[in-house]
A and B are shown apart, each in its own frame.
Chain A
Amino acid sequence: MRKNGLDEEGAVKRIINLGIQDYVADLYKDGEISIREAAEILQLNFRQTFEILEKKVGGNVEEEQEIRALKLAKKLADRS
């Protein structure tokens, strides 16, 4: 059976790839790996990995990190 130009082996590979991408996206979402480590696992370049993670996760910054960054932004602005 062929669908979207894929034979059975191609379809299985695609399903496995999607599963790996989901697994890597979860690791990234939890902060276990960086985008570059995700790229190494997926054997893709940074840009391709960024695009995948953008769709599957968005970002992964924690609230506490953002609050610390906002405080620093205020401090730097007050100083300038």
Chain B
Amino acid sequence: MKVVMDSDVLIKFTKTGCKEAIVSLLKVSIPVRVYNETVTESKGCLDANRIQENIDNRMIQVQGLPSSDKGELEALKLYKSGGFELIVSDDRKFLNSLDRNGIPYLTSSSMVVYLLYNNKISQEDTIKYIDNLKMYISQRQYLAAMSEVLKWVK
């Protein structure tokens, strides 16, 4: 499955240690603006180095051309260029816009649950990853995702 990932989610996945599981299962692409935000402008951050490593070993693809568009618009343009299943973001305003335009999306926590549904990670690991995300996501988002995980039966 090919997805376009936004900066906030990419940083959260890297900080919480679940990025490797995600990039090994999915084809993750980011627009140039997201690369700049998460790596170029983040020099010195440990997670920026890890993202660069994933780009160097082609686990994450940087796609599209540099533009003066906002990151959300670049992500949207990349999605519309074709071949992508959805966009991954945790930005409510951006998600509202995707809802209005009928564009499918996953959030950080629902992406982790997707790994569970695909039997790529255990229920215990899913709980651990969502707990790691807790400080970066809203309580509503956390509770909805955790509720889904706890009622999940293989």
Which residues in B have their C-beta under 8 angstroms from that of A45? Answer: 37, 41
- B129 CB within 8 Å of chain A: no
- Residue count of chain B within 8 Å CB distance of chain A: 44
Interface residues of A in 30-76 (CB under 8 A from B): 31-37, 45-47, 50, 54, 58-63, 65-70, 72-74, 76
Which residues in B have their C-beta under 8 angstroms from that of A69? Answer: 105-107, 110
Q: Would you call A73 and B138 a contact (CB within 8 A)?
A: no
In the complex where A61-B90, A76-B85, A77-B114 touch, is A35 in contact with B8 (Cβ < 8 A)?
yes
Q: Would you call B71 and A73 a contact (CB within 8 A)?
A: no
- Per-residue interface assignment for chain B, residues 66 to 82, with 1 indicating a CB less than 8 Å from any chain A CB and 0 otherwise: 00001110000000000
A-B contact pairs, 14 of them (CB 8 A): A31-B96, A34-B70, A34-B72, A34-B93, A46-B7, A46-B37, A46-B41, A47-B41, A58-B135, A60-B90, A63-B144, A66-B110, A69-B105, A73-B117
